[in-house]
Copies of this chain bind each other. A is one copy, B any other.
């Protein structure tokens, strides 16, 4: 069976838990406490050199890390990933946006707020992270509300249906208030969060 190395509060881990659950793919969850260095042991680093969760190990020993790459692998050939090549590229665009513009601000700020005991030089950038996180939410709002050039309102991020892009962006957006974000000015984002949470097989981030 697949082994998923995970940390329950992690939105990146949650992405994989949620997709595997919705695909009805069984997996063994291996909880690692990232605060105690459990992802930086020699044993873990020998398998996953970047020392991060989520990470997946298959029964035949193959290994894969990076949450959005894991989503892509399991979604391939399912309804969770478009089949058209340009739609797939646009899906990837949003997955990279999530890891570059969204996660380092919204997820990192949530981590620092909810883990006050952790010393981190990024604490001096909390204001910058707040602003940049709101910038990412504004990009999401404009995409869903369809306010761009020649644009139209959308229900989902990719290809007019629920996909791994929605899973990836939902993971940290729905807990953004834990990082100090107020979503009141992002009505299209809030409506989309409700749609995502109503999808069949949805589980909360707290479900192991």
Residues of A within 8 A of B (CB): 45-47, 49-50, 61-62, 64-70, 72-73, 76, 85-86, 88-90, 92-93, 95-97, 99-101, 103-104, 121-122, 124-125, 127-128, 138-139, 142-143, 148-150
B47 touches A148 (CB 8 A): yes
How long is the Cα–Cα vector from A76 to B90 in the complex, in angstroms?
13
B122 touches A49 (CB 8 A): no
B96 touches A150 (CB 8 A): no
Please indicate the chain B residues that have their CB under 8 angstroms from the CB of A103 in the complex. Answer: 100
Please indicate the chain B residues that have their CB under 8 angstroms from the CB of A73 in the complex. Answer: 85-86, 88-89, 92
A148 to chain B, nearest CB (A): 5
**Partner pick for A121 among B49, B93, B124, CB 8 A cutoff:** B124
B121 touches A92 (CB 8 A): no
Please indicate the chain B residues that have their CB under 8 angstroms from the CB of A124 in the complex. Answer: 121, 124-125
Please indicate the chain B residues that have their CB under 8 angstroms from the CB of A70 in the complex. Answer: 89
**Partner pick for A85 among B45, B61, B76, CB 8 A cutoff:** B76
A-B contacts, 11 listed (Cβ < 8 Å)? A46-B149, A64-B86, A66-B96, A66-B97, A69-B90, A73-B86, A73-B89, A73-B92, A96-B96, A99-B99, A121-B127
A46, A66, A85: most-surrounded residue (chain B CB, <10 A): A66
Please indicate the chain B residues that have their CB under 8 angstroms from the CB of A149 in the complex. Answer: 46-47
